[in-house]
Amino acid sequence: MKPIRKAIFPVAGLGTRFLPATKAMPKEMLPVVDRPLIQHVVDEAREAGIEHFIFVTGRNKGVIEDHFDRQFELELTLKERRKHSDLKLLASDLPGPGTTSFTRQQSPLGLGHAVWCARELVGNEPFALVLPDVLVQHSPGCLAQMIEAYRATKQNANVIAVEEVPADRIHQYGVVGVGKTKGNTFAITQMVEKPKREDAPSNLIITGRYILQPEIFDLLGTQEGGAGGEIQITDAMIRLAKTQPFYGVKFEGRSFDCGSKVGFLAANVAYALARDDIAPAFRKEIEELLGKK
């Protein structure tokens, strides 16, 4: 069974739901409290033991590459001003030299296409796929939980993070069928993209974190456009499931869909309330806004 060393972060989308904020700035750089979304998920991947971070970027996304580089002028100024804790923070956020790679998706043809763009950088080994607009608040992180579940399968399996949603929202997501279950992990019997409520095999949806075997790349290479004309990762996974095992992991933790405005705002509130340095003052503000004081 091959270890999971590499993670793909697709960051080439247009982020239209956040216009005009995302006209000139990547959605993935929007901050949740004081860390960009992309930093939150890179931290999660580092904690899970990922050694190589592969970003699929596009036009207007150069600032993501800069974010994961040193900023000498800033560092010099901080040094002169003896801001040692800020300097330490910047250094600890940085992935090590040679552990990041950037490739381009020239046209935003869908998530599946973005993943396929990383095929040469991943090579012939299983990898993690982490969507930066899904945050999961928990320690250990969602990806660490998935890698543990992957190891427990003792085979070159594919593993998908899943979570429950209310039945009236099921038609918006990829939904999985549940087979033999052990602890928080189960064999996936089927995957259906955006089913009608009455056709959904369960109320468990596919949520932003995947461990995939490299055979997915060949399938993505021949994948036709699906919903919205985009090349969908779920369509390729449905094909891969014909020859390889897929497992679902019901992860611990609260997830936030930061691709939507409400999810993003909720993430900011939850992450601020979890910070010792911010929570007391922030809680007061929230209570005042809600008319509780």
Q: Which residues bind ligand UTP (CB under 6 A)?
A: 10-17, 27-28, 56, 105, 108-111, 113-114, 131-133, 259
Q: Is 112 helix (H, G, I), strand (E, B) or coil?
A: helix
Closer residue to ligand UTP, CB minimum distance, 10 or 126: 10
Nearer to ligand UTP, 37 or 170 (CB): 37
Q: Closer to ligand UTP at the Cβ: 56 or 78?
A: 56
Which residues, 6 or more positions from 201, have their beta carbon under 8 angstroms from its beta carbon?
175, 176, 177, 178, 189, 190, 192, 195
In the complex, the smallest distance separating the C-beta of residue 80 from ligand UTP, rounded to whole angstroms, is 37
Q: What distance in Å separates the CA atoms of residue 14 and residue 92, rounded to the nearest whole number?
A: 29
Side-chain half-sphere exposure of 208, counting CA atoms within 13 A: 21
Contact criterion met (CB below 8 Å) for 202 and 176? yes
d(CA 26, CA 41): 15
**Nearest to ligand UTP of 110, 248 (CB atom):** 110
Least spacing, CB of residue 174 vs ligand UTP, in Å: 13
Q: Shortest approach of ligand UTP to residue 230 CB, angstroms?
A: 6
CA distance 153 to 60: 40
**What would the two tokens of residue 167 be?**
């039945």
Contact 196/284 with Cβ under 8 angstroms?
A: no
Minimal distance, residue 81 CB to ligand UTP, in Å: 35
Residue with the shortest CB distance to ligand UTP: 13
Considering beta carbons, is residue 13 or 248 the nearer one to ligand UTP? Answer: 13
The least distance separating ligand UTP from the CB of residue 147, rounded to whole angstroms, comes to 21
Amino acid at residue number 188: I
Q: Which is nearer to ligand UTP, 4 or 12 (CB)?
A: 12
- Two structure tokens written together for 71: 């900023």
Do strands 158-164 and 246-250 pair parallel, antiparallel, or not at all (unpaired)?
Answer: parallel
Closest CB 70 distance from ligand UTP, rounded Å: 25
- Nearest residue (CB) to ligand UTP, 13 versus 141: 13
Closest contact distance (angstroms) between CB of 62 and ligand UTP is: 14
145 three-state secondary structure:
helix
Question: HEC profile for 224-254?
Answer: CCCHHHCCCHHHHHHHHCCCCCEEEEECCCE
